[in-house]
Amino acid sequence: MYDPEVLRSLHVSRYKSEPEIFAAPGRVNLIGEHTDYAEGFVMPAAIDFATLAGISPRDDGKIVIYSENFKEERVFDARSLPKSGSKDWSDYPLGAMVMLAGEGHRIPGLSLSLLGDVPLGSGLSSSAAVEVATALAVTSLVGVDYARPKLARLCQRAENEFVGANCGIMDQFISANGAEDHALLLDCRDLSFRLAPIPANVALVIANTMVKHSVAGGEYTTRRAEVEEAAAVIARHRPEVRFLRDATVEDLHKWGAEMSPNALKRARHVITENTRTVAAADALIDHDLKELGRLMAEAHVSYSQDFEASCVEADTMVMLAHSQPGLIGARLTGGGFGGCTINLVEQGKANEFRDGLAASYASETGIVPQIHVCHASSGAHRVIASLSH
Ligand code: GLA
């Protein structure tokens, strides 16, 4: 995470006022992919890459948003906010404000500056980090205190309704609720969760394939539609099944022939992934790292072959991980079609693992990857109080 002092001084020099500063992390998902919008289970962890948001009030009725990453500023009128996004980076912070306005809060004039180190387009939820940091900053300015699950829902709606990306709840939830040194098993039906400690001798090694990923892209939406098609077929026979969370492999044996071949495969991934995700949380809690690694390997095969959300580079990165020292488990993480792999690695071998994987991936693909040894971090929080208070 960037030093908050960097953001503070750029905010003060641009806007001549002391900001309150908030941070919201990106995330890595250990297991449970494309299960969140099927009301299933996911097990992400917040990571030590984050977006910082600095906020201060203005008296001219303007909403001014500056991104240090894009080195651009956008200006809006607080009394007439747009109804939908304009395919711009500002959609994410603005979307969070528009949703808050929709909840009946009057959004005052404000200056918001953003600075983040979550790599963009790499499946580590840079957009959720911006939304959650902004929502926390603006609720604080307005003087309301949202419970974290509610804050996460609001940010998911910003993404669904304002940005126009049909994501589930996972990314915003973990960014708002992450816990240091823990993964979080989330039941996406009722947002109840269980924390699973990540042992001190286990490193989270995140390997970027450098293939760009986007939730707004067509493939994510197509997969979601296929998952929903499968659920609708099962519901014709078992009306109590509204989401694949409630379906079984047996349902697929009985009625899979009524689905398109793709819907059948996608459903098989989602149904088996839900079972694996709950089992993986148990394995982590029981310190059964061998079982956890086995479940991650199985999850990758299912994601690649049944869900067809991998790519040659991600399959190569996972395959090569298996010949590096200290590997516990590896799989493609996040929405798919590029982005990063998550590798659980014995802490003492993490650097050796990182260097070996980087070299073999570069020689195999010709692409120089970025590989980060991360650790599970806390969720969104206030960083420093305004010095003027
Ligand atoms: C993206 C979405 C999430 C989730 C994952 C896949 O990260 O934003 O809601 O669906 O993909 O597990």
- The predicted-structure confidence for 138-157, as pLDDT tens digits, reads as follows 999 999 999 999 999 999 99
Q: Pick the catalytic residue: 171, 246, 251, 306?
A: 171
Domain membership of residue 349 (yes or no) is no
Domain membership of residue 23 (yes or no) is yes
CATH number, position 87: 3.30.230.10
C-alpha triplet 129, 309, 247: angle, nearest 5°: 90
The pLDDT value given to residue 384: 76
Domain membership of residue 298 (yes or no) is no
The pLDDT value given to residue 388: 47
Domain membership of residue 191 (yes or no) is yes
Domain membership of residue 97 (yes or no) is yes
Q: Using CA atoms, how far apart are residues 49 and 61, in angstroms rounded to an integer?
A: 32
Measure 330 CA to ligand 1 centroid, in angstroms: 18
Measure 168 CA to ligand 1 centroid, in angstroms: 6
Domain membership of residue 354 (yes or no) is no
Counting ligand 1 atoms within 8 A of each CB, the residue from 47, 126, 167 with the most, and so the one to mutate, is: 167
Annotation says 91 is catalytic: no
Q: Using CA atoms, how far apart are residues 373 and 348, in angstroms rounded to an integer?
A: 12
Counting ligand 1 atoms within 8 A of each CB, the residue from 171, 175, 184, 212 with the most, and so the one to mutate, is: 171
| Residue 177 near residue 86, CB atoms below 8 Å | no
Q: Does 299 have pLDDT greater than 60?
A: yes
* pTM, full prediction: 0.97
Residues spanned by the domain of 30: 4-198+377-384
Mean pLDDT along residues 85-104: 98
Tokens 């590997």 locate to 327
CB atoms within 10 A of CB 59: 7
Domain count, the chain: 1
Q: Is the CB of 152 under 6 A from ligand 1?
A: no
Q: Does 1 have pLDDT greater than 90?
A: no
Domain membership of residue 322 (yes or no) is no
Domain membership of residue 105 (yes or no) is yes
